[in-house]
Structure 1
Amino acid sequence: MALIMPRPVKDPKSGIYYIRVRVPADLTASFGRKEVSKSLRTREPAEAKERFAIEYAAIQRRWAALRSKPEPLTLKQIVSLSGRVYQRLMATLDEEPGEPSIWEHVVRLNKQAASDERALEQWYGETVDELLFEEGIATDQTSRKRMITEIQRAWEQATEQLHKRSRGDFSPDPNANRFPEWASEKKPSKSASGPTLSDLFDRWKKDHLANGKTENTVKDFAQKLEVLKDYLGHEDVERISPREISEWTDYLRHEKGLAAKTVGAKYLAAVKSVFQLARSKFLIESDPTKDVTIKVPKKIKSRSSGFTEEEARRVLSAANKVFDQSPKMAHHNKLACRWVPWICAYTGARAGEITQLRKEDLTFINGIPQLTITPEAGSVKAGMYRDVPVHPHLQEIGLLDFIRSAKSGYLFHSGASTTAEAVKRSNNARDKIAVWVRDNVGITDERIRPNHAWRHRFKTLGRNADIAPEYLGAIQAHAGRTAGENYGEYPVETLYREICKLPRIVAQ
């Protein structure tokens, strides 16, 4: 399950878009909240995206301010910032300043607040904090108090001018130019001296691809690292603690609703791989993920993970009739639904391994037909090829004739110019079969997986047929139980002898 990166969120009742961003873990105490939620004041998607970008950048500056070391501001900087209040107020009420009585009342309130420190804080404290956040400034209490005083003066000046406008006098304010242009006198913050998460990922990616591993894993890991960066609010590796990694996994489980297995086997595993590689290359001194673990609760099992005899027959019977009963389905998808379930039933292969079969993957050894499942065609777990003999029943129902008559290339999709694209199309074909099993065949039991159930069923039938475990493992590409089982080869004649022990499936 992929997490969605920050983007505008539409309120289901009002239709107005909002920005909702989680506060980084290291700032929740100082910020006082776990989430920032603010209306973008629009129902238009395009406009919401533009406003979101502006607000999100401002929020990032807030985080920078909270992490910065407080520094005093000069009077020039303070007056410049207070000018923002003046200018915004004047611009907002430029056309319609309101009634004179309103501004006369504001003048009285301003004078009352000027002599009361508590009232000044109540009136202008939030405005001061907003201005500081906008610029990513962390300042001391003395400078903040001076800002409150200057902003109160800016309010008085704006009030005086708006009072004039409310009486019809729109002449320029002779003192408007007293506010200097903003020019931060702070020294630029020193960048992190150590590596960033991006640096570690790039190093891992280089090593991963050099070892001939897939580009798909690179994309998957990149997404997982982005989720971690978003949670932390930074990517400075030296600032990442084991506790933060542990809290991140809790956040994924409890706030994002991901399963413990997903968090551990995908998100944490990806981050661990990147850090472990960095540690082995001496890019970092310690690995904050090393001792972080996820306890996966034992899954309650209330039925077999494989198809029952009745379910298998229903799927294979529907496969026989798919060309007659699925008029709106694309031709390649019909071919996949017609043949992939049958092949999986007699080979125990993963559906994705079969949807990437090509015409040239059918070969004959001493007259025995075999299908080669190879990473050259797409993605194969552990990157190991294997040859699987074709069961006699598959030959009888026309599988070999179908493959011989097919065009060169992939059997169940139109192929692609790159391996990554071919894998994507093979996976799409695999997923279409699962949807077809659920929606068209009617196998809706959520306790089984529509494609993977064949692997479980094959193992069960193989045991019933007295096929030795090492032969079942060789056919399905399961690792040997002992080191000895990984020695030598399993000739096609041997595997064909064993696979012929499987009983024929009767399907109409």
Structure 2
Amino acid sequence: MTLNMPHPVKDPKSGIYYIRVRVPADLKAAVGRAEVSKSLRTREPSEAKKRFAVEYAAIQRRWTALRATPESLPLKQIVSLAGRVYHRLMETLEDEPGESLVWEQVARLNITAARDDDSLERWYGPTVEEILIDEGIAIDQVTRRRLITEIKRAWEQATEQQHKRSQGDFSPDPNANRFPEWAPEGKPSADAGPTLSDLFDRWKKDHLANGKSENTVKDFAQKFDALKKYLGHENVGRISPREISEWTDHLRHELGLTPKTVSGKYLAAVKTVFRLARSKFLIESDPVEGVSVKIPTKVKSRSSGFTEAEAKRVLTAAQKVFNQQSNMAHYNKLACRWVPWICAYTGARAGEITQLRKEDLTVVNGIPQITITPEAGSVKAGKYRDVPVHPHLQEIGLLDFIRSARSGYLFHRGTSTPAEALKRSGNARDKIAVWVRESAGITDERIQPNHAWRHRFRTVALNANIAPEYIRAIQGHAGGTAAESYGEYTVETLYREVCKLPRIALP
């Protein structure tokens, strides 16, 4: 006898695939119909199969929840479930919280929703149902009332934090860790073993012990949070290679990330952590091993660096930034005024320059130089370098600007916390990128508004007969051979090479 397995169904008229699943006989009364039907929003057979699998799993969880015997949950588990509401809202609006007025209105609505039990049920009841279905559990009425109360508290806490963010305060919520990890009682023994957080914490410990960047830790944490959100759990033993592959598809097709980003950022981060866990015998098998994302060959239709006309356009706009009326903060104006010029003559990364401090300018044997160092924030190679200041930069007043600045960071207010200083340097870098697009008018999406200086510098330097090894030393690129890690170039040598760069004459 052949069994008809559930599969996507194609609508003969529209060509769009649907999921159609019969409701089990014992659940028809609860569901209110005999069949569940939902559009998969695609005409592609392969994509339909992937989306079908996700939707079918969600339906099965709903059946499980409907069949579950209502139970009473302790407060710790209730608070843990409520934490999902908090974390979801905080993650969704992590980078752009919106206007303050919106959150002030939400706060008023929260008060209205708490007027009586009926209002609480109308406001938070649907969220309770969604959480219960996700977990495949049922709860009694007493637990439901307690869960609604805790979800209300979580929502109010998230509202307060988002209101702070909308006013420019992105400091961590000191009470965010009050939500315990979800751990249902009677958890099967198969779920025992390390969690994603366990593996990440072990990698983080090794990473920082090796003196590597805290910025990478933050970046990897975001990637792991995305994976945990997709899986709905943290148990490593339950993760299969197929689920990792489906996660990469989700990042591409549902969230719109490019194959390069998915492969080089998200998948690479997860692979790095799992590889370490495997080497430390924390796991027996690696579900990420063998998973890959095909990156299509990129069609290159222009240089990755600024053209001469584009470079002059940005630098001309930089000279005029303080003459134009705008709401831009003073430090951001300083960044737009000087960072493009410094990048043009050093080939440095914009983020390396936005973290410069007054004390990073020194004079050695009469030659002014700036020190790009991890002590100020983050340097990709993890190694400091000294870069002589080109004569043209001296003539247009860079040294006068630095010497007249107050101690500390040149392009933001700075802070006593290294992580916060790094974040502010990144914000300044990002502001410059927006300014290059919107104010300087460089709208060609084929180039990066900050990194294009780095590409242009190498081109100009090669054309000025600067040897590749000197270019690498100035830009901070890793050497081509092991021998290049021995010895250093003197400031006189690098200044001699920097002076070969032609002056940029503006119209």
Same fold by TM-score, threshold 0.5 exceeded? yes
Deviation at 1:403, TM superposition (A): 0.9
Q: Distance in 1 between matches of 2:120 and 2:289?
A: 39
Q: What is the CA–CA distance in structure 2 between the aligned matches of 1:470 and 1:229, rounded to whole Å?
A: 44
Matched to 2:306, the amino acid is: F
| Aligned residue number for residue 237 of structure 1 | 236
Give yes or no for contact 2:381–2:477 (8 Å, CA) kept in 1: no
**CA distance in 2: counterparts of 1:24 and 1:51, whole angstroms:** 31
Q: Which residue of 2 aligns with 1:359?
A: 358
Distance across 2 between alignment mates of 1:374 and 1:305: 26
Structure 1 residues 492 and 204, CA gap change in structure 2 (3 angstroms): same
Aligned equivalents of 1:382, 1:282: Cα separation in 2: 29
Query: What's the counterpart of residue 190 of structure 1?
Result: 188
Greater Cα shift, 380-389 or 214-223: 214-223
- Counterparts of 2:500 and 2:123, CA distance in 1: 63
> Contact 2:369/2:387 (CA < 8 Å) preserved in 1?
yes
Other-structure match for 1:266: 265
Report deviation, 1:400. Answer: 0.9
Matches within 5 A, 1:81-480: 188-190=186-188, 192-480=191-479
**Normalization by structure 2: what TM-score?**
0.67
Going from structure 1 to structure 2, the CA distance change for 1:493 and 1:242 (only over 3 Å counts) comes to: same
- String of CA shifts for 1:426-480, please: whole Å, max 9, x gaps: 1111111111111111111111111111111100001100111111011111111
Q: How far apart, CA to CA, are the structure 2 residues paired with 1:276 and 1:246?
A: 17
Question: Could you tell me whether the CA contact under 8 Å between 2:62 and 2:133 is conserved in 1?
Answer: no
Residue 53 and residue 457 in structure 1: after superposition, are their counterparts in 2 closer, same or farther (change >3 A)? farther
Q: Which of these two proteins has the greater Rg computed from alpha carbons?
A: 1
Native 8 Å contact 1:25 1:244 kept in 2: no
C-alpha contact 1:357 1:411 (8 A) present in aligned 2: yes
C-alpha spacing 1:30/1:338, structure 2 compared with 1 (3 Å): closer
The one-letter code sitting in structure 1 at the alignment partner of 2:241 is P
Determine if contact 2:61/2:135 at 8 Å carries over to the other structure.
no
Cα distance, 1:59 vs. partner? 3.6
Rounded to whole Å, the distance in 1 between the matches of 2:358 and 2:185 is 65
2:271 alignment partner AA? K
Shift of 1:222: 2.0
Superposed CA deviations along residues 228-266 of structure 1, whole A, max 9, x for unmatched, are: 122222221111111211111112112221100111111
Q: 1:274–1:338: structure 2 CA closer, same or farther, 3 Å change rule?
A: same
Deviation at 1:33, TM superposition (A): 8.2
Change in Cα spacing, 1:366 to 1:59, as seen in structure 2 (3 Å) is same
Alignment partner of 1:501: what SS? coil
Q: Partners in 2 of 1:303 and 1:312 — Cα distance?
A: 15
In structure 2, C-alpha distance between the alignment counterparts of 1:327 and 1:432, rounded to whole Å: 13
Contact in 2 for aligned 1:25/1:232 (Cα 8 Å):
no
Q: Distance in 2 between matches of 1:451 and 1:215?
A: 22
- Structure 1 residue 345: Cα displacement: 0.4
Residue pair 1:242, 1:289 contacting (<8 A) in 2 also: yes
| Separation in structure 2 between the aligned mates of residue 499 and residue 456 of structure 1, nearest angstrom | 16
CA contact (8 A) 1:347 1:476 kept: yes
Structure 1: segments with no counterpart, 5+ residues: 1-22, 37-42, 67-76, 89-185
TM-score by length of 1: 0.67
How many residue pairs were aligned?
A: 366
8 Å CA contact 1:347–1:388 kept in 2: the answer is yes
Contact in 1 for aligned 2:241/2:287 (Cα 8 Å): yes
How far residue 28 of structure 1 moved from its aligned partner, in angstroms, is 4.4
Deviations 1:252-304 (A, max 9, x none): 11222110011111111111122112111111111111111111112111111
Q: Deviations over 1:379-410 (max 9, x none)?
A: 11021111001011111111111111111111
CA contact (8 A) 1:356 1:412 kept: yes
| One-letter code aligned to 1:424 | K
* Distance (whole Å) between structure 1 residues aligned to residue 417 and residue 400 of structure 2: 28
Give the Cα separation in 2 of the matches to 1:24 and 1:307. Answer: 42
State how far apart, in whole Å, the 2-side matches of 1:29 and 1:409 are. Answer: 57
For 2:312 and 2:120, the matched residues in 1 are separated by 51
Return the letter of the residue paired with 2:211: G
**Deviation of residue 333 (structure 1)?**
1.4
Deviation at 1:327? 4.3
Which residue matches 2:133? 62
Within-5 A mapping of 1:66-81: none
SS at match of 1:329: coil
For the residue of structure 2 that corresponds to 1:441, the secondary structure is coil
Q: Does structure 1 conserve the Cα–Cα contact (< 8 Å) formed by 2:332 and 2:432? A: yes
3-state SS, counterpart of residue 395 of structure 1: helix
Gap change, CA 1:394 and 1:27, over 3 Å in 2 = closer
Contact 2:62 / 2:136 at 8 angstroms: preserved in 1? no
Runs of 5+ unmatched residues, structure 2: 1-49, 64-104, 114-118, 145-183
